A and B are shown apart, each in its own frame.
Chain A
């Protein structure tokens, strides 16, 4: 397809979007071709819709099912589920996948895990693709240089039936993180600092590209964390230009191209990065060296401050809405303005979720926990069965167990709290997940979002703790 803009400098986002635009309706929406649709247990509404219509998935080889939201972490069978209703979700998922003739990684599969951990791990996620999943954290997968975004079940049914989606083209935003991160500062902290700065609605309607030295120096695991949290700033998606780090990561993965096809793919992928001179609708710059380990104090991811900081006074917020929201958050969190975050007692620790459950996350936590003991109940839920196996082979599982952590099977677990793994009412949890919403980790739960190393530090002291001190 040729575009008038072929010679004009284009962004990474613009190139992938243009290459997937089947047509543009006169009214403005684009009909986008979707390369990959990822299915989890929550997709049952879309399957019910297809069955009502007498339709089947049109392109089964481009659809992958992965059980994650409802799977138990204490066993590997639907019989281990926390309730019959949860077991039914897991079985319905298997039935729908069989019905649709779809490849799927069920609960007992060696490829099972959280969809946003498994898809990159298996090479299902590749540079230059359009990827959707009925999960908001699909933005994660943009880390490999793809357009990846969350959709609802109506849109999911549309993709299953047509392998396309009507979308308005989002605006673009570049977030450039310059310099170098300090010791104990991670991709999680970069994102919490960004969201605190631009707000939980700050990137609404935008596709974010992350750039700058800090991002270039990041591993794919760290970039996945970065892009994962884009949705918490309300962005449509997040992405990082593919580079040598990306190509090294992708090479040899199960669904990645090989041999001559690898060369063909590489020729396309090398042309993807944003051209010099391409413009973005918005630019945000951050000094990497100025970012400290972050922690949230409220019930929105924008309620984040450095661990060295104090809980703000609601009266200090600019708008009456924000003042009300902050006061309500503090009431829910049972916290007082002016309290130092460092030293705040917690009741439990959760290490896991599509944000922070990859092998590097587990390594970072284990490095802190080695030869130490957790002072509070703590669980680790690896992002995938393969991550779990690798962590066992590397001796990380032993470190976690010796520190008193429960070493669980992979799944969404205590982040989405849909499988029965919950934080109790009134309990305060240091969590590596992505949302500190009211009741997110269970009714009445109080969540403090932190990086894996910070979660490990909190486990040892039983308090929110500046990991740089340990």
Chain B
């Protein structure tokens, strides 16, 4: 996994509460191999008009918005389907961090496994940040995982990044979780032997 220490960027604001993973990547694109790149599927249908033309009013279609590696989104972002393709699309488009009041649980975990930091901020802070960005689109945010804080512009101060220490360590070191878990294999095998002895029907 790509390590994450600190990221400073302008912020693109993609509004909409309950933005589900079907909006982030429609189901019909999930057949694609990862190698071909998922960035072209990001918000595919909601950034286009019904004729398939890019809607110039969609935040990420505005000039310069594509350079932002940090997105401000709304409550319950990434709810719905567990499709990791939603995170692949964000990652392949260069997104490194997301700011929102809350995220879908499965999406949140998927983001962490792909080197994207989902930062939970109070609703009022998100609203104030959106207002500030509207007035000053060149304002930047720093997501500093090492210092465990996100630094906001416009006098909005800094806030802690509320991800657990385990996920934070994995991100900071770019740890491969499977490799790391293999180091616990003795404990796993002991547990498993005991569980199978008491539930032998589980592995027939």
Contact = CB atoms under 8 A, between A and B. Distances in A.
Interface of A: 22-23, 25-29, 31, 33, 35-36, 42, 45, 48, 53, 55, 59, 61-62, 70, 85-86, 88-89, 129, 134-136, 149-155, 157-158, 161-164, 166, 168, 170, 200-201, 204-205, 231-232, 234, 236, 255-257, 261, 264-265, 268, 300, 302, 320-322, 324-325, 328, 416-418, 425, 435, 437-440, 443-444
A402 B46 CA distance: 40
B57 interface: no
B23 A234 contact: no
B138 interface: no
Contact of B87 (A152, A236, A440): A152
B18 A48 contact: no
B148 interface: no
Given A158-B177, A324-B15, A136 B82 contact: yes
Contacts of A53: 178
Nearest to A157: B178
Contacts of A232: 80
A45 B102 contact: no
Contacts of A322: 17
Contacts of A48: 33-34
A33 B190 CA distance: 11
Interface residues on B, range: 35 or more
Nearest to B74: A321
A62 B110 contact: no
Contacts of A55: 178
Contacts, number: 182
Contacts of A27: 164-166, 168-169
A261 B200 contact: yes
B113 A154 contact: yes
A8 to B, nearest CB: 23
B125 interface: no
A438 B22 contact: yes
A164 B191 CA distance: 11
Contacts of A443: 26, 45
B204 interface: yes
Contacts of B110: 152-155
30 contacts: A31-B184, A31-B187, A33-B192, A35-B199, A59-B192, A61-B203, A70-B31, A136-B80, A149-B106, A150-B106, A152-B84, A152-B106, A153-B84, A153-B110, A154-B113, A158-B178, A166-B166, A200-B18, A201-B102, A204-B102, A234-B76, A300-B18, A300-B20, A302-B18, A322-B17, A324-B16, A417-B27, A435-B20, A438-B45, A439-B23
B187 A22 contact: yes
B164 A28 contact: yes
Contact of A325 (B18, B22, B80, B169): B18
A205 B105 contact: yes
B135 interface: no
A142 to B, nearest CB: 14
Given A45-B34, A164-B188, A439-B26, 7 more contacts: A29-B167, A89-B31, A152-B109, A164-B181, A201-B102, A236-B105, A300-B18
